[in-house]
Amino acid sequence: MAVPRFAADGKPSPPTQAQINAAENKVKQQQAALGAQQGQLSSADAELNSLQVQAEVLTQRYDQTLVDEQRAAAAYKVTEARLQYAQRAQDASQQQLARLAASEFESGGGFGPMTSMLGSAGGPQGYLNGVGLGQVLAQNGTDTVAQAQANNVVASAFRKQAHELLAAQQADLQAASHLKLAIEAAVSRQQEFVRASQAKRNSLASQLATAKAHANALQAARQAALAAAAAAAAAAAAAAAAGSAQGSTTVPSWAWGSGASATQGDIAANWALTQLGKPYVWGAAGPDAYDCSGLTMQAWAQAGVALLHYTGYQWEEGPHVPLDELQRGDLLFYATDNADPATIHHVGIYIGNGMMVDAPYTGAFVRIDSIYQPGIPIGAVRPAG
């Protein structure tokens, strides 16, 4: 800040108008720089928000892939069990036929096929190997092994299908994991960029404040030297400029209805509140971290209701309720396109008074938000007990 010059009589010499003009031009330059940086910061924030929504969408795809892979693994185990049963049946049938052949061989039976079997150098087993299992079955009317073979064919087909399904799901999971790493890296980079933009914005704001203070000081000194009244007016203007406007945000308040699941809803909502402050992590379902659908799944598990770990499935796991009939514990869903439920990417759990608990996005923590914080909900679901 400039120090007033002093005249020969010891009285301060007021700043010149040229000095004041130069200081005011500096203020304008700083304001322009700050405005440009604020625009860059706004753009960076918008890009970060977009990346966070993309991350949420990919998180839910990742969750869906995990659920589908678990289903495929279960189907594979079932087919393996069927295959083992069929193989046991086939082994038993072959042993039964071998015993029949051996009995005929030892008794010296004379009917056609058995005579050939007796004459075989390899005995009953050699005969079976030579004529083929199918011929012996046709000649002796035995259908046990045929049934076992049919079981084996069917089970083998199921096993092949299950293997293919598992391979596809594992490939999907690998692709989802790669997407997860890519979007997490992009979000991290954008967060660093936003932080750098904020730091630069703050620095420019500080420089602007200094420039304004300098210009005001010069103007005040000149006015003080010219007239006391002008100095008082300048001081009032400076005080007014230093003030800041205050705004308020109205949090919407919604009434909620009552129903058969109200008690369970209270249990789920109250438990969700105990998880505040825990970090958001892709695909996590507690106890130390969550993603959005992992949090709601575990909350309703406390109330004895099982939900799948995927927003798309949770959207279908109970009746839909109007927003003006919400009750504690209801699930609120958010989509990139409210006309298309297939674009749902986020879910929170209603706790009353227009507020919800949710796990928002990578880098954030489980917290309380307005139900309109992520945008207008596409709808709400009351999980079926």
Residues 249-269 pLDDT 10s = 233 333 333 343 789 999 999
We report the CATH number of the domain holding residue 301 as 3.90.1720.10
Average pLDDT over residues 191-219: 81
Same domain for 70 and 186: yes
In a domain, residue 232? The reply is no
Please provide residue 6's backbone torsions phi and psi, each rounded to the nearest 5 degrees.
-120, 140
Based on the fold, state whether residues 196 and 268 are members of the same structural domain. no
Q: Name the residue among 75, 347, 375, 363 with its Cα closest to residue 195.
A: 363
- Which of 152, 180, 200 is where one domain is finished? 200
- Which of 328, 236, 220 lies closest to 4 in space, CA to CA? 220
> Are 383 and 261 spatial neighbours (Cβ–Cβ below 8 Å)?
yes
Indicate whether 143 and 281 sit together in one domain: no
Structure tokens at 305: 């209701």
- In a domain, residue 195? The reply is yes
Q: Which of 76, 65, 77, 66 is nearest to 166 (CA)?
A: 76
Q: Are residues 190 and 74 in the same domain?
A: yes
Boundary residue ending a domain (176, 200, 224): 200
**Predicted confidence (pLDDT) per residue in 13-38, tens digit:** 578 888 888 888 888 888 888 888 88
Give the chain's domain count: 2
Domain final residue pick, 180, 200, 220? 200
Q: Decide if 371 is inside a domain.
A: yes
Residue 61 lies in a domain: yes
Whole-number pLDDT of residue 208: 81
Mean pLDDT across the chain? 76
Query: Do 269 and 192 belong to one domain?
Result: no
Q: Are residues 276 and 194 in the same domain?
A: no
Domain holding 149, by residue range, is 35-200
Q: Are residues 80 and 186 in the same domain?
A: yes
Q: Are residues 45 and 192 in the same domain?
A: yes
Residues 68, 186, single domain; the answer is yes
* Residue 224 within any structural domain of the chain: no
Please work out, in degrees rounded to the nearest 5, the angle formed at the alpha carbon of residue 82 by the alpha carbons of 76 and 84. Answer: 105
Could you give the count of Cα atoms lying within 13 Å of 192 in the half-sphere of its Cβ? 5
Assign residue 40 the CATH number of its domain: 1.10.287
pLDDT value for 125? 57
Tokens of 189: 């980079």
Q: What is the pLDDT of residue 129?
A: 60
Sort strands 344-352 and 331-335 into parallel, antiparallel or unpaired.
antiparallel
Maximum mean pLDDT: which of 114-118, 170-174, 271-275, 324-328: 271-275
Question: Rounded distance, CA 264 to CA 327, Å?
Answer: 11
**Same domain, yes or no, for 141 and 283?**
no
